[in-house]
Amino acid sequence: MKIKYYLFGLIFLSVNLLLSQGFQVNLQGQKQQGMASSGSAFVQDESLLFYNPGSAAFVKKTGINLGVTPTIPNTVYLDSTSQTISRTESPVSTPFAAYALYSIKDSSKIKMGLAVYTPFGSTVQWPSEWIGRFAITKLQLQTIFFQPTVSYQITNKIGIGAGFVLATGNVNLKKDIPLINSSRNYGTAELNGKASGYGFNIGLYTKASNKLAFAISYRSQINMKVKDGNAVFVVPEGVAVNFPNGKFTSSLPLPQVVTLGTHYKLNEKIDLVADVNYVGWKAYDTLAFDYENNTASLLDTKSPRLYKNTFAFRTGCQYLLNEKTQLRGGIAYGITPVQQGYVTPETPDANRWIFTTGASYFVTTHLQIDASLYFTEFKRAAVNYETNLKGTFKTAVVAPGLSIRYQF
Per CB under 8 A, residues contacting another protein are: 1-3, 5-6, 70, 72, 74-79, 81-85, 87, 92, 129, 131-135, 175, 178-182, 184, 235-239, 375, 377, 379, 386-389, 392, 394-398, 400
Please, which residue, 128 or 286, has the CB nearer to another protein? Answer: 128
- Beta carbon nearer to another protein, 159 or 345: 345
269 closest CA partner among 315, 314, 317? 317
> How far is the C-alpha of 163 from the C-alpha of 276, rounded, in Å?
21
Taking the C-alpha atoms of 25, 260, 311 and 329 in order, what is their torsion angle to the nearest 10 degrees? 60
Greatest distance between any 2 Cα atoms in the chain: 75
Cβ atoms 103, 46 nearer than 8 A: no
Residue 210: left (phi > 0), alpha (psi -120 to 50), or beta?
alpha
User: Nearer to another protein by C-beta: 202 or 396?
Assistant: 396
Question: Residue 112's CB: how many other CB atoms inside 10 A?
Answer: 16
307 in Cβ contact with 324 (< 8 Å) = no
CA–CA separation, 102 vs 127, rounded Å? 47
Work out how close the CB of 388 gets to another protein at its nearest, in angstroms, rounded to a whole number. Answer: 5
What is the nearest approach in angstroms of another protein to the Cβ of residue 223?
A: 27
Distance in Å, CB of 400 to another protein, minimum: 4
Smallest distance from another protein to CB 378, Å: 9
Phi-psi region of 388 (alpha: psi -120 to 50; beta: other; left: phi over 0): left
CB of 271 to another protein, least distance (A): 27
Output 96 or 134, the one with its CB closest to another protein: 134
CB-wise, 164 or 375, nearer to another protein? 375
**CB nearer another protein, residue 18 or residue 49:** 18
Strand partners, 99: 65, 115
Complex with another protein: residue 146 or 375, whichever CB lies closer = 375
Q: What is the DSSP letter of 241?
A: G
CB of 118 to another protein, least distance (A): 17
Residue 392 CB, shortest distance to another protein, in Å, is: 6
Minimum distance, C-beta of residue 138 to another protein, in the bound complex (Å) = 14
**Measured between alpha carbons, how far apart are the two ends of the chain, in Å?**
64
Compare residues 215 and 354 and give the one whose CB is closer to another protein.
Answer: 354
- Please spell the DSSP secondary structure of 349-360, one letter per residue: ---EEEEEEEEE
Whether residue 402 contacts residue 357, with contact meaning beta carbons closer than 8 Å, is answered with no
CA atoms lying within 13 Å on the CB side of residue 307:
30
Nearer to another protein, 251 or 392 (CB): 392
Q: Which residues pair with residue 325 across a beta bridge?
A: 322, 361
Query: Is-contact 328 319, C-beta < 8 A?
Result: yes
User: Closest approach of Cβ 10 to another protein, in Å?
Assistant: 10
